């Protein structure tokens, strides 16, 4: 039996993405009104969910641990210094042979390969939530793992964030909108416009895939030289093809152009984890891309525009006047990480990848 993994929103059909968001919303309502739905209560009792994080985290860690606990399971957090995973030992062995003429066994012992780690961890747990650097690491782990792997942020994608983001957008916008088609229940967000102003990064890529799948238009403004890579554009366009009404992706180097008629302005840090060495250069290149009230006005965002950010936030990419304003959805968006995590665990672990 090959488990189903969630490495990117591209792994979901439009209907499945819709279900994950709807289920998150309905669990949120039920739990907040004091009743854990029977299908969730104790659903992970006696089960362990491994959480290997090789980068820091507040929201993803807390929401996942809380979600597993809500379902009665045991979240096992493993930071990068807690386990033996490291540079594959054969790389070390080669390095040691080249530099010292013999392998250093102490170094080799604490650097276990992804293959060995994946085989071992997955033999003992019900699921594995992983935060890593190169996306190829999580792809490799998913090929060996005997349990579902959930991406908790890689250099390319952040699907848990995206489910929470569309729950947040649904809560803020769907009641005021008339769905364009009424036969299949969607999220009722078709025709909305998101403007992403900032770095083309992991959070954007899954947001873009989801937007296209849900009929939401997305305009992306990045400085020259920081555009969405071609291979990623192809993944985004391809995965939007199963949408009942595909959203439109447009790109520009002018923030004003992106925010024109936008309902939601979104950004993220300009310097993602792992890019610290480029910080100075990037912050300079992104001058003029800070989200401010003046930018929204100059560009002509819709009068009721809202602001979103996955957090953690840095002052460069958004001004306090926006971040702490009534337009800002950032804190409900952060809380929604919990409901998204519950919905994802339900779909991928309890229901073994059958997402309805
Ligand atoms: N948004 C997000 O993933 O935040 P953390 O890095 O704090 O988990
Ligand atoms: N783009 C950011 C997201 C953090 C949640 C990063 O990768 O560091």
Buried b (16+ CB within 10 A) or exposed e, 90-121: eebbeebeeeeeebeeeebeebbbbeebbeeb
Dump the DSSP string for 248-273: -EEEES-HHHHHTT-SEEEE--SS-T
Residue whose CA is at the smallest distance from ligand 1 atom 3: 60
pLDDT digits (tens, 9 = 90+) for 292-307: 999 999 999 999 999 9
Choosing from 44, 167, 308, 310, the catalytic residue is 310
- Ligand 2 center to 242 CA (angstroms): 28
E strand or H helix at 128, and its extent? strand 127-131
What is the C-alpha separation between 127 and 49, in angstroms, rounded?
5
Length of the chain: 356
What pTM, to 2 d.p., does this model score? 0.93
What's the chain's average pLDDT?
A: 93
Give the tokens for residue 5. Answer: 């993994």
Q: What is residue 99's predicted lDDT score, i.e. its pLDDT?
A: 60
CA of 279 to the centre of ligand 2 (A): 14
3-class DSSP assignment, residue 100: helix
Residue 185 is predicted with a pLDDT of 66
Q: Determine the atom of ligand 1 nearest the C-alpha atom of 61.
A: 8
How many C-beta neighbours within 10 Å does residue 309 have?
25
Token couple for 198: 């900032």
Element (H, E) at 120: helix 114-122
What pLDDT score was predicted for residue 120?
A: 97
Ligand 2 atom with least separation from CA of 155: 7
User: Is the peptide bond prior to 34 cis by the omega test (within 30 degrees of 0)?
Assistant: no
Rounded Cα–Cα distance for residues 178 and 99 (Å): 67
The model's pLDDT over 111-128, given as tens digits with 9 standing for 90+, comes to: 899 999 999 999 999 999
- Report the residue among 66, 150, 337 best suited for mutation to probe ligand 1: largest number of ligand atoms under 8 A from its CB: 337
ipTM: 0.99
């Amino acid at each position: 039996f090959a488990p189903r993994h969630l490495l990117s929103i591209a792994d979901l059909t439009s209907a499945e993405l819709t279900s994950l968001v709807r289920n998150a919303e309905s669990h949120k309502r039920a739990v907040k009104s004091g009743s854990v739905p029977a299908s969730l209560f104790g659903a992970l009792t006696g089960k362990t969910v491994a959480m290997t994080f090789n980068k820091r985290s507040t929201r993803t860690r807390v929401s996942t641990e809380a979600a597993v606990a809500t379902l009665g399971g045991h979240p096992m957090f493993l930071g990068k210094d807690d386990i033996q995973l490291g540079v594959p030992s054969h790389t070390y062995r080669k390095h040691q042979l080249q530099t010292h003429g013999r392998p250093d066994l102490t170094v080799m012992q604490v650097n276990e390969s992804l293959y060995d780690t994946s085989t071992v961890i997955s033999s003992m747990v019900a699921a594995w939530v992983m935060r890593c650097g190169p996306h190829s690491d999580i792809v490799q782990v998913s090929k060996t793992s005997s349990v579902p792997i959930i991406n908790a942020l890689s250099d390319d994608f952040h699907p848990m964030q995206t489910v929470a983001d569309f729950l947040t957008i649904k809560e803020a916008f769907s009641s005021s909108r008339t769905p364009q088609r009424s036969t299949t229940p969607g999220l009722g967000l078709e025709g909305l416009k998101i403007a992403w102003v900032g770095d083309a990064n992991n959070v954007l890529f899954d947001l873009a895939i989801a937007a296209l799948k849900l009929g939401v238009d997305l305009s992306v403004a990045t400085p020259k030289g920081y555009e969405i890579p071609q291979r990623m554009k192809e993944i985004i366009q391809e995965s939007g093809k199963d949408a009942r009404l595909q959203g439109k992706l447009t790109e520009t180097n002018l923030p004003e152009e992106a925010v024109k008629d936008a309902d939601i302005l979104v950004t993220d840090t300009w310097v993602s984890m792992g890019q610290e060495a480029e910080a100075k250069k990037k912050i300079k290149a992104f001058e003029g891309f800070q989200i401010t009230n003046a930018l929204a006005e100059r560009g002509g965002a819709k009068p009721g525009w809202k602001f979103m950010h996955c957090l953690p936030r840095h002052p460069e990419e958004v001004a306090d006047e926006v971040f702490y304003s009534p337009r800002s959805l950032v804190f409900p968006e952060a809380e929604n990480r919990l409901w998204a995590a519950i919905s994802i665990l339900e779909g991928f672990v309890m229901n073994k990848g059958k997402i309805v």
